[in-house]
Each structure stands twice: as structure tokens, then as C-alpha cells.
Amino acid sequence: MDSSRVPRYAGPATFARLPRLDEVGGTADVAVVGVPFDTGVSYRPGARFGGNAIREASRLLRPYNPAQEAAPFALAQVADAGDIPANPFDIGEAVETVQEAADGLLDSGARLMTLGGDHTIALPLLRSVVRKHGPVALLHFDAHLDTWDTYFGAAYTHGTPFRRAFEEGLLDTSAVSHVGTRGPLYGRKDLDEDARMGFGIVTSADVMRRGVDEVTDQLRLRIGDRPLYISVDIDVLDPAHAPGTGTPEAGGLTSRELLEIIRGLAGCRLVSADLVEVAPAYDQAEITSVAASHTAYELTTVMARQIAEGRTGQ
């Protein structure tokens, strides 16, 4: 949509003011899809409203990305696929619904840029991606490990998706990493069990001390040419940069550091991504939603560049 003719605050709030999926014939190279679901949270709810908050903030995105020297929406057909209506009263049914909807979008040829919702949704999304690509490398940006076993006896929550993904054989355990973790744990056992699943850890302090370039080089080396799934919990950012989230932890990444790491992953085989845990009720002046919209934009640009390069044989 031409912002010189239609003001940015006017018109439907699709992601980056892009067309809806039905307006481009029902198929797209990258489908931006929302999952308004937060029944799996363990502290503050509200992430069910995150997808639409990100869409509203994305009205300010422009079609050329100078950091990646690309016009993503010219390189690939990107469309907003609307929301997946997950049952807010039944986590098991919601997980099945998300997986079925993701299967349909991936079968149409799209890669997914999913806007959560809480981190529970990463599990069905990974199941769907692995159905198409086989076990994937995982890059998980988060303040927390999310490899715990259960909460109150529940196996499917926002703190357990990557434990379940490991148990189900969804991950290439030679290429799985957490980035931005920090804060207190329940005990040393948390780290030992996480290491048993194959995860490498780059803490937020590591990024600060070693710098973005060195960290990104390490991640690229670990990922190699494997199909890659990226999952971003917005609480990877320090609360100064993302107050609108359910479980904030002090000492996080800056938005600049997060964006630069993602930009440095251009060329990796990014097959789909999610961005979760934006809770606008706790946001201040849309700080979190703006950071999330730019993060989704960078991830979409990485995918669009790969799609275009694949078409030209580069």
C-alpha cells in the first residue's frame, strides 16, 4: 500500500500493510500468520493480543530494508494469512489446531512467519516444519531455556516446548542453541538436562562481552547448511526494550543486538520462524510491539532473499 496516498494509520492492519492471503490467490512464498493463544503461560497473560499489536506497530515498516540491502516484498510474495483460531480452554486441542493450520500453509508452498501468542505454539509449528524438512536446526532467542518438563503436571506449556520437541525427535541436536538466556533457575539440574538435549547456550552477557559479530559467526558455524527454524521470545530483550511481555528478566539484549544477529544469519536456510510472548497490556508507548515488528521484518527479509536466490540459482 502506497503510504504517500493512504496514510499509515488508515486501512486494515495487516502485517506491514501487505495484502491478505486471499487477495493473492491463497498462496504466498511467506505467510505471516497470527496465533492468538496464551493459555500456556505461567505468569502474566495477554500474549493472545500480541499478533495484532505487532501488526499495528508494523504500519511504519517500509518496503526497502537497507540493513540487508533488499526489498523483501519485491523479492517474494509475502501475505498476511490472518489468525489461527486456537481453543483458549483446551491446550491439547489448540496444539492440534495450530499444527493442522501450519501443515496447510506449508503444503501450499509458504514459509511461515508466525506471530504469537505464547511459546507453547512453537511445538506444533516445529512438528509441521519437520514434517516437510525433517529434523531442523533450532535457534532459540529467549531469556529462559523452555526445556523444563512440566508445570503443575502439565506437559504442554510455554516453558516446555523444546523438551517435547527433543523427545519427539524434531531437532537436529548437533545444531540447537539458546541465545540471550539469563536470570535465576530452579537449580543446576536445569542446565545439565538442557545440555543433555544438545543445546548450546549464548547468554546475554556473552553477547555483551564477545560482541554481535563473534556470536553470529559461532551460530552460523553451528547451523551450517541445515534447515533452520528460529523461535524468538520477545523477552530475550531487556525490559527496557521490551516491557510488554509476561515473564521479564533484567539484563537482556538490546533491540539493536537482536536485529544485528538476525541480519547476520542471512544465507542460512531459514525455513520458518515464530515471534512470541508480546503482551501489549504491559507495553509502554508500543516499545515492545515496535521491536517485535522490526524483528519479524528482518526474519521475513532473510526468507525472502533466500527464495529469490533460489529462483535465480545463486
235 is in an annotated binding site: yes
> Cis before residue 117, ω within 30 degrees of 0?
yes
119 is in an annotated binding site: yes
What is the rounded distance in angstroms from the CA atom of residue 139 to the CA atom of residue 221? 12
146 is in an annotated binding site: yes
Pick from 204, 276, 296, 289: nearest CA to 243: 289
149 is in an annotated binding site: no
Partnered with residue 232 across adjacent β-strands are 141, 275
Pick from 243, 224, 225: nearest CA to 235: 243
Positive or negative: CA dihedral 205, 208, 209, 210: positive
User: Which DSSP letter does residue 38 get?
Assistant: -
Tell me how far the alpha carbon of residue 137 is from its chain's centroid: 14
For 96-143, the DSSP string reads HHHHHHHHHHHHTT-EEEEEES-GGGHHHHHHHHHHHH-SEEEEEE-S
Query: Cell triple for residue 101?
Result: 493450520
**What one-letter code names the amino acid at 205?**
A
Taking a C-beta distance cutoff of 8 angstroms, is the pair 47, 121 a contact? no
For 158-218, the DSSP string reads TTSHHHHHHHTT-EEEEEEEEEEE-S--S-HHHHHHHHHTTEEEEEHHHHHHH-HHHHHHH
Query: Cell triple for residue 148?
Result: 523444563
Binding site, annotated residues: 119, 142, 144, 146, 233, 235
Binding site, annotated residues for Mn(2+): 119, 142, 144, 146, 233, 235
